[in-house]
Copies of this chain bind each other. A is one copy, B any other.
Amino acid sequence: MDGIHLLGEWYGCPAHTPEFTRAEALREVCLKAVEASGLTIVGEKFYQFEPHGVTGAVILAESHMAIHTWPESGFVTVDVYVCNYTTDNTAKAQKLYDLLETALKPARAHSQKIVRGGLNEQPKVA
A residues contacting B by CB (< 8 A) are 3, 5, 7, 9, 11, 42-47, 55-57, 59-61, 63-64, 66, 68, 70, 73, 75, 77, 79, 81, 83, 85, 110, 112, 114, 116-120, 122-123
CA distance A11 to B66 in the complex (A): 24
Q: Pick the contact of A75 from B11, B64, B119 — CB < 8 Å?
A: B119
**7 closest Cβ contacts across the A-B interface?**
A9-B117, A57-B57, A43-B45, A42-B47, A45-B45, A73-B119, A64-B66
Q: Is the CB of A59 within 8 A of B45?
A: yes
Which B residue sits closest to A42, measured CB to CB?
A: B47
Q: Pick the contact of A43 from B46, B64, B70, B123 — CB < 8 Å?
A: B46
Q: Is the CB of A66 within 8 A of B68?
A: no
